Structures are given as C-alpha cells and as structure tokens.
Amino acid sequence: MHRGKAIVLALVGALTMGWGCQAMADDNAVIKGKIVFKGDVAKYKRSTIKTNKDPQCKKSKKKIGTYAVIFNKKTDPITVRNVMVYVKDGLGDRTYKAPDEPVLLTQFGCEYKPHVFGIMAGQTLTVKNGDATNHNIHFQSKVNTQHNFTQPKKGMTKDLTLLKEDTFFVKCDVHPWMGCHIQVFDHPFFAVTGKDGTFELKGLPAGKYTIEAFHEKFGKMSMTVEVASGETKTADFTYAP
C-alpha cells in the first residue's frame, strides 16, 4: 500500500473507531457459512439423563438431553449446532482489545448455558448460579488458572479472567451430566453455530485466513479463505463421520 494512503486510512480508522482501538475502518470483510452434516443422523441420537438424584434439578427438568451432538434437522441440508468457528491463522501481529462487557455463564435448570462459547483473553467471565441448589464449577484447563469452586446458593456470581488462548471443558462435580466448552481467543473473530447451523465472522481485515471449526464429537476441520476489503466469502464445512 502507498505510504500516504496508509496514513490517511490510519487516521480515518482512528477517528472512526476512536484512538486506542486497533480495528481499522476498512476492516470490513466477512467470512460466513454453515456446518453441514452428511451421514447417518440416527447413529447420534440424543440420549437423556435422569436428574432425580438432585430434587431441585428434578423440579426444573426430570430429564436432560445430552449435548455432545445436536443436529438442526429442519435446515436443508442438516446442520450441526454448537460448532465453534474461528480464525486460526492469518491475523499476523495485529492485537485486539478485549470488550468491556463480560461473558455470562449461567447454571440454570442444572445445565450450563451456553454449552459452547468463546471469550477473549482478558475479558471478564461472570459465572452465575441461577438454581436453588449447589453447583461446582471445575475448569479442566491445562493453560489457564485452574478454577474449582462451588456456588451453593441461587444468585451467587463470581467474576474470572482467562488470560491465555485455550480450549477446555468445564464440569460440575455435583451433577455429572453438566459440562460446557470454553475457548479463549486473542482476537474477536469467532462464532458458535446455533439453531440454523450458520456462522459469520465480521469486521475482518483483507487477508488470507485459516478458518477452523471445532466440534466436541466430530473434531476439527480447517480451510483457507482469502477475502479482499469489503468482500463477503462463503466457507461451508461438512462433517461426514
């Protein structure tokens, strides 16, 4: 890029975004897509777990469905829920500031909500107990601080901060069916598929990226996607176990 143009763009970026924010005004490329499933859906039938060991859990839900594999059977083609899609590589030495808003992890109805989520390194994670029963939050991280604490009362909250890039599982030692996945990023380009099985990574600088998808049962997949400034590219992933 011509040096003069780069300076003008930097100034426009700084004025638009506010000084101190690293995103540039022309960081507007989009990579989006869906997570398709090709295979025998019946093989992964969702099982249920009885909650009667804890009367408080039983009160809200007698049975809880397992979370490992959830398909969106109404989409065409069939898509997969709870897949984390993110930029694995390609941002170079750019740095991104974590948002001020916390990410909320709630224990509600004796389930973790959400089941899969991303957070930026340095961003606050607020863990809340929404149930009138004792929950235990046990991080299985090998990289970040090993948190293991209980929240015995409804309404209790605790704020944590994760500082390093990481992917780990969280479990409750009181209720063995409870679990969730947390992924920590040093950039904001991540998304989790929901009921429509789609994802969208917005605000990307022009560049060539490795986009990775992670699902707790079907594993990781990646592809290379190149986007120009202002361009939107589609990157669909297919799990065919």
In the list 34, 81, 128, 135, the residue contacting Cu ion (rule: CB under 5 A) is 135
Query: What is the β-pairing status of strands 29-37 and 198-204?
Result: antiparallel
Is residue 156 a contact point for Cu ion (CB under 5 A)?
Answer: no
- Indicate the residue among 137 and 160 with the shorter CB distance to Cu ion: 137
178 binds Cu ion (CB under 5 A): yes
Examine residue 172 and tell whether it contacts Cu ion (CB under 5 A): yes
CB 130, min distance to Cu ion, A: 11
**Is residue 64 close enough to count as binding Cu ion by CB under 5 A?**
no
Nearest residue by C-beta to Cu ion? 172
Residues 6+ apart with CB under 8 A from 162: 119, 121, 122, 123, 125, 141, 144, 145, 182, 184
Which structure tokens are listed for 164? 């390093």
Which of these segments, 13-21, 132-140, 179-187, 210-218, binds Cu ion (CB under 5 A)?
132-140
- Interaction of residue 175 with Cu ion, rule CB under 5 A: yes
Q: 29 near 87, Cβ under 8 Å?
A: no
Cβ closer to Cu ion: 60 or 167?
A: 60
Q: How far is the CB of 148 from Cu ion (least distance, A)?
A: 13
Among 9, 91, 174, 191, binds Cu ion (CB under 5 A): 174
Select 87 or 180, whichever has its Cβ closest to Cu ion: 180
The distance of closest approach from Cβ of residue 175 to Cu ion in the complex, given in angstroms and rounded to an integer, is: 4
**Neighbour count for residue 73 (Cβ, 10 Å):** 10
Given the complex with Cu ion, which of 82 and 129 has the nearer CB atom? Answer: 129
SS3 49: strand
CA separation, residue 212 to residues 9, 86, 182, 197 (Å):
30, 6, 15, 15
Cross-strand bridge partners of residue 234:
32
The answer to whether the peptide bond before residue 102 is cis (omega within 30 degrees of 0) is no
Burial of 58 (0-12, 13-18, 19+ CB in 10 A): middle
User: For residues 116 and 103, what is the distance between their CA atoms, to the nearest angstrom?
Assistant: 12
Give the nearest distance from C-beta 159 to Cu ion in angstroms: 19
- When the beta carbons of 33 and 179 are compared against Cu ion, the nearer one is 179
If one asks whether residue 80 binds Cu ion (CB under 5 A), the answer comes out as no
Residues that bind Cu ion (CB under 5 A): 135, 172, 174-175, 178
